[in-house]
Amino acid sequence: MNQTPEDFLAGLRAAKLVAIVRGTDRDAATAAALALMEEGFRYVEVALTTPDAPAAIAAIRASAPPGALVGAGTVLSVADVKDVVAAGAQFIVTPALADSIREAARRDLPVLAGALTPTEVHEGMNRGATLVKLFPAFIGGPRYVKALLDPFPSVPLVAVGGVGAADAAAYWDAGAAAVGPGSPLVGDAASPGGDLDALRARARDYLRTAAGHPRVDG
């Protein structure tokens, strides 16, 4: 199942969560991503800094439960976009204003474009981003999200970087469309010998927080 950028935006707003898996081992990253999906995460990204990331994406795509989408993160170049699309990625995420944004938009592929400053937020949307990934969000916190949305009320922001389960509600209250937990969620689970049971417990914490938070359409 693929989603148009419009459907992806609506789906991510409803889910309020996108998981970020940055592993040190392909098989461990695959297992971690699938565990997150089994617990109820609908959107899971695997960073290209993970060894053999395209193979992990392909394996996740083949085994993902219905309704769960796998994306590729740290996608920087046009060649990266081609590689991850061939592997089956259903959305991409960038850490910065990279060439990959326009290429993904050209392919009608949902893209979360990395940005931090107001100028970067504006430019990310101009390049065709579906949402803007505010990274690293912990630098400014929820107050910074709210400040950015004053001049850009229609820009869907995803707060990424240091967002724990206890922090998520403050970002949603500030107007973020979603949050993207990485290490606070995944921990050591994407490395050999990592604790998948602990990952599943943390995943349930995030999902309970999202389910209990009133949805605010924007």
**How many percent of the chain have pLDDT more than 70?**
98
For residue 218, the model assigns a pLDDT of: 45
How many residues comprise the chain? 218
Q: Note whether residue 128 is domain-resident.
A: yes
Range of the domain at 146: 5-211
Asked if residue 217 belongs to a domain, the reply is no
Distance, in Å, from the CA atom of 118 to the CA atom of 91, rounded to the nearest integer, reads 24
**Per-residue model confidence as pLDDT tens digits over 76-109:** 999 999 999 999 999 999 999 999 999 999 999 9
User: Count of CB atoms within 10 A of residue 213's CB?
Assistant: 13
Task: Tell me which of 6, 103, 133, 146 is the catalytic residue.
Answer: 133
Residue 65 maps to a domain: yes
The count of domains in the chain is 1
How far apart CA 18 and CA 44 sit, in angstroms, is 6
Contact (CB, 8 A) for 81 and 55: no
Would you say residue 62 lies in a domain? yes
Q: Is 216 within the bounds of a domain? A: no
| Residue 150 is assigned to a structural domain of this protein | yes
Whether residue 45 lies in the annotated active site:
yes
CA pair distance 67, 15, nearest whole angstrom: 11
Binned at pLDDT 50, 70 and 90, residue 26 comes out as very high
Burial of 96 (0-12, 13-18, 19+ CB in 10 A): middle
Residue 218 resides in a domain: no
pLDDT for the residue 1 = 76
Give the tokens for residue 141.
Answer: 């916190």
Domain CATH for 192: 3.20.20.70
Mean pLDDT of 180-191: 97
Q: What is the distance in angstroms between the CA of the first residue and the CA of the last residue of the chain?
A: 25
Options 45, 82, 103, 120, the catalytic residue? 45
Average pLDDT, the chain: 97
Q: What are the C-alpha distances in Å from 211 to residues 122, 168, 176, 214?
A: 30, 12, 15, 8
